[in-house]
Amino acid sequence: MQDNVKTRILFRSRRLNIYLVRYSEGHRVVPHVDMVSEGRLYKFNWVVVQPEAGGEFICEKNIFNLFGRFILFRPDLHQHQVTKIERGNRWLLSFAVS
């Protein structure tokens, strides 16, 4: 299943990480909460390319979610997941701020 995810680190620092992630057809992200060693974690995800079918982001609580494409949430507090990608790929630009 890991072959279905390709992650490229675009920027990494102590407080900010930026990733470009491709999730391939057949992949899903199971419900989980991101672990942090200290402090708070915020993620802003921009779904650059949505799959043709499936691949829906589901979160217990978002700070905001605009059209399912621009999502700000606390992954360290709220369980989140992505449904199985039935057809196509899901491309995500992810900004993680701690």
In tens, the pLDDT along 4-36 reads: 899 999 999 999 999 999 999 999 999 999 999
Domain interval for residue 13: 2-97
Burial of residue 43, with CB atoms counted within 10 A of its CB: 0-12 exposed, 13-18 middle, 19 or more buried: buried
Per-residue pLDDT of 39-85, as tens digits, reads 999 999 999 999 999 999 999 999 999 999 999 999 999 999 999 99
Domains held by the chain: number: 1
CA distances from 16 to 48, 51, 62, 88, 96 (A): 20, 27, 20, 29, 6
- Residue 80 sits in a domain whose CATH number is 2.60.120.10
